[in-house]
Amino acid sequence: ASQSTWSQRFESALHPAIARFNASISFDIQLIEYDLIGSQAHAKMLAHCGILSAEDGEQLVAGLEQIRQEYRQGTFQPGIEAEDVHFAVERRLTELVGDVGKKLHTARSRNDQVGTDTRLYLRDQIHQIRTHLLAFQRVLLAQATTHVETLIPGYTHLQRAQPLSLAHHLLAYVEMAQRDWERLGDVAKRVNISPLGCGALAGTTFPIDRHYSAELLGFDQVYANSLDGVSDRDFAVEFLAAASLILVHLSRLSEEVILWASEEFAFVTLKDSCSTGSSIMPQKKNPDVPELVRGKTGRVFGHLQAMLVTLKGLPLAYNKDLQEDKEGLFDAVMTVKGCLEAMTILLEEGLEFRPTRLNAAVAEDFSNATDVADYLAAKGIPFREAYNLVGQVVKTSLAAGKLLKDLSLDEWQTLHPAFDSDIYAAIAPRQVVAARNSYGGTGFAQVRQALQRADERLQSA
Ligand code: ARG
């Protein structure tokens, strides 16, 4: 076994099982690119401040560069003897550049180092996820654009409520994705703060320039308090909360797609590229993609909960518990990206709406009942009175096996003299949708404007 960094202080080596238990290299190797960038910035800062000579600084930067090449070529594959990615890099650096490698850790601790790496990683990932969110919005928008005139039953309590433009329904998810995109932009502000130079917990005796390294790394600010800087994981909690909401939205859409694909609804057809068959039932075509997205949602919620529990009751500053921040974070990032990508493909080419079925569906129910009440209310009958009257009409029509459109003008006029022959046009599904022209409503004119606003927003994003 190779010697640990602290072998001079200790009498004997770690128990092999404890070494495995303690090591984080199997997962924090994912931070290596950020560890290298962070270390390069640190080395440059040390030289800039005259703490190391310019040559030492250059040698360190070049050695770290070489490790990057080795890692990318697959020749640098540290095992658990290195404990974590930070030790692995420092060791390799010393092998490559000799004793000067041992100077890299001047005025630094793994505590500010790991915080720096994690933030750089998350900043990159947030950028990628935001790009996925824009792509997701674009396919929703494309579907919506082709389905402004397609009607779909709108539900409350999963009971037919009022018909909608299908575009309006899809645009609701565009709004959610837009909030998610904005929320991540906001989280990024608190991710992009540098803890580098906070040291182990108290700062350092060397005349470092924290703003200099922060600027090299593209951080907007530096942590004002060293204790806070090394122990803050709020940014990870915020990210996991934002990620959880993304999954909430994807999961709600998934549930709808699963319902829509059922024989009972039959609002969409699943395409072969995004569905699977059964091993026994030859007729099956299953909506695996939305089911998996719905299923994976729980994992991300779990990671949020785990992070909160890890932080609760931790005394300042660094505690090894904080090593537990990474696996959940990495898994959440991977899950969010995977789910967004799969749902984007599903909406782009994995399903087809069935306009004939959808348009027919809204013609066969009482979802125009509100419009009858509105019709009377517009003629001066108090809404509650009109509502009660229509309630009776629905009851008697149901008993007679009729829909509202099947009532004769005589029947309407017996119910109330205010009814006229224009009642038929007023309760036709297309008119029912068109008439809801209030701002943000499902009226076709409103939907067209909403489409345009969303399109402009996406163009400028
Ligand atoms: N692998 C550790 C982690 O991920 C790095 C920081 C270790 N610091 C320490 N004082 N043991 O948290």
Question: What is the set of domains in the chain, with CATH numbers?
Answer: 16-106 (1.10.275.10), 111-360 (1.20.200.10), 369-460 (1.10.40.30)
Q: Residue 141: is its pLDDT beyond 90?
A: yes
For 144-169, what is the mean pLDDT? 97
| CA gap 104, 97 in Å, rounded | 11
Which pLDDT score is estimated for 284? 85
Note the pLDDT of residue 283: 87
Token pair belonging to 146: 């082709």
What pLDDT shows up at residue 2?
Answer: 65
ipTM (interface predicted TM)? 0.97
- Per residue in 30-74, pLDDT (tens digit) is 999 999 999 999 999 999 999 999 999 999 999 999 999 999 999
**pLDDT for the residue numbered 1:** 47
pLDDT of residue 42: 98
Work out the end-to-end distance of the chain between its first and last CA atoms, rounded to an integer number of angstroms. 53
Mean pLDDT of 425-437: 97
**Cα 324 to averaged position of ligand 1 atoms, centre (Å):** 10
Q: Quote the CA–CA distance of 361 and 383 in Å, as a whole number.
A: 27
Give ligand 1 pocket residues (Cβ under 6 A): 24, 28, 84, 86, 110-111, 114, 318, 320, 322-323
* pLDDT tens, position by position, 368-422: 999 999 999 999 999 999 999 999 999 999 999 999 999 999 999 999 999 999 9
Q: How far is the CA of 186 from the centre of ligand 1 (A)?
A: 27
Active-site entry in 12, 157, 408, 438: 157
Report how far ligand 1's centroid is from the alpha carbon of 110 (Å).
6
Residue 270 φ then ψ, to 5°? -85, 135
**CA 421/CA 408 separation, integer angstroms:** 9
Give the pLDDT of residue 276: 87
Q: Estimate the crossing angle of helix 32-48 against helix 110-146, to 10 degrees.
A: 130
Closest-CA residue to 198 (of 119, 80, 121, 266): 119
Quick one: 399 exposed, middle or buried, by C-beta within 10 A (0-12, 13-18, 19+)? exposed
Is 278 among the residues known to form the active site? yes
